[in-house]
Amino acid sequence: MILTTLAFGIMATAASAQTTVQSCDREVTFDAPPRAAVSNDVNLTEMMLVLGLTDRMVGYTGISGWNKLDPDMTEGVAQLPELSEQYPSKEVLIGADADFFFAGWNYGMRVGGEVTPETLEPFGIQVYELTESCIHIGEKGPAAMDDMYNDLRNLGAIFGVPERAEALISGYQADLDSFLASLPPLDAAPRVFVYDSGEDVPFTAGLYAMPNALIEAAGGTNIMNDFDKSWGTVGWEAVVERNPEVVVIVNYGSVTAEEKRDFMMSNPAFADLDAVRNDRFVVLDYVEATPGPRNIEAVKTLAAAFRAR
């Protein structure tokens, strides 16, 4: 059964304080808002920040091992410790006396790994899973902007701030709609390739990864939208055959966005790609390309780039 956005909705129980939300293939009931939450990764942590939940957190994990915090976010988590530079162990979460872990599959948890909703449950740690990541444990629809809105809405319910979540979502939607309406229409949807990393074979975004949703919202088409995965590797032959007009570079890690661009620009195998011939590269930081509040600015960046000549 394919999980739709509606299936991820919030369900209030007949009781009063209890709240039940859909988290991937599980219904999770909270008797009261968490008081000792931990979030994993920069994008998930930013969802907690925009909802004003730092006073309900005891720390965060999985940021400095891959990403650098920008000044705004550094200030937002200044009072919180980073409990683990990369994925946390079960002992790290238990040692922090956490009662809630906001993570996802390949965003702090691995299928069959040490840290999962099942392994944490005996220690009183409830887990809410990032919607985009649910494809790793079951079926769901293609990545959509509603995935991110759904996470904000569910976090709002879990922490007892639903009005705050709805106000944020409405504001994001209105802001994006207004911006897109101000742009000239596209003659056709540009063909777009997402270049995350890799030289021998590229690591890219498929149908279930957030960049697919960002590209579509901005008016483009992901040339790998028939790649039945979230993120994964494909052959360069497929990229050349589909001839992208725009390349979106995901900026993070030790290889810079400029180095990734230089690799494509200097490689004779890519010389005839429209994106290379016309030097049409767009850079999105990791935090923009993964589900979170910065998806709004990411769509704006892409939409403007798709219309630039």
Total tally of structural domains belonging to the chain: 2
What is the domain extent for residue 245? 191-307
Does residue 185 sit within a domain?
no
Do residue 14 and residue 131 come from a single domain? yes
pLDDT above 90 (res 137): yes
Do residue 205 and residue 170 come from a single domain? no
Task: Report, as an integer, the average pLDDT of 252-270.
Answer: 96
pLDDT band for position 255 (50/70/90)? very high
Do residue 270 and residue 227 come from a single domain? yes
Residue 33, SS3 per DSSP: coil
Contacts of 222 (CB under 8 A, 6+ apart): 192, 193, 194, 205, 206, 207, 211, 212, 215, 216
Calpha distance 128→179 (Å, rounded):
32
Amino acid at 244: P
Does residue 259 sit within a domain?
yes
Calpha distance 119→87 (Å, rounded):
15
Calpha distance 188→211 (Å, rounded):
19
Domain-terminating residue out of 134, 149, 174: 174
pLDDT above 50 (res 142): yes
Do residue 109 and residue 225 come from a single domain? no
Q: What is the domain-level CATH number for residue 150?
A: 3.40.50.1980
Nearest C-alpha neighbor of 76 from the set 53, 103, 101: 53
Q: Please give the mean pLDDT across all residues of the chain.
A: 93
Domain-terminating residue out of 174, 202, 237: 174
Nearest C-alpha neighbor of 194 from the set 268, 158, 125, 246: 246
- How many residues does the structure list for the chain? 309
Do residue 48 and residue 110 come from a single domain? yes
Does residue 170 sit within a domain?
yes
Does residue 179 sit within a domain?
no
Does residue 114 sit within a domain?
yes
pLDDT band for position 15 (50/70/90)? very low
- At residue 288, what are phi and psi to the nearest 5 degrees? -85, -30
Do residue 19 and residue 159 come from a single domain? yes
Do residue 200 and residue 169 come from a single domain? no
Task: Report, as an integer, the average pLDDT of 134-152.
Answer: 97
Comparison of pLDDT for 231 and 66, the residue scoring more? 231
pLDDT above 70 (res 6): no
- Per residue in 105-130, pLDDT (tens digit) is 999 999 999 999 999 999 999 999 99
Do residue 62 and residue 160 come from a single domain? yes
- Per residue in 22-66, pLDDT (tens digit) is 999 999 999 999 999 999 999 999 999 999 999 999 999 999 887
Comparison of pLDDT for 7 and 211, the residue scoring more? 211
Do residue 160 and residue 237 come from a single domain? no
E-assigned strand segments in the chain: 10-12, 19-23, 26-30, 37-40, 57-61, 82-84, 100-105, 108-109, 126-129, 191-195, 203-205, 221-222, 231-233, 246-251, 281-285
Domain-terminating residue out of 119, 147, 174: 174
Contacts of 185 (CB under 8 A, 6+ apart): none
Does residue 213 sit within a domain?
yes
Does residue 91 sit within a domain?
yes
Do residue 136 and residue 262 come from a single domain? no
Does residue 186 sit within a domain?
no
Do residue 101 and residue 161 come from a single domain? yes
Do residue 252 and residue 279 come from a single domain? yes
pLDDT above 80 (res 271): yes
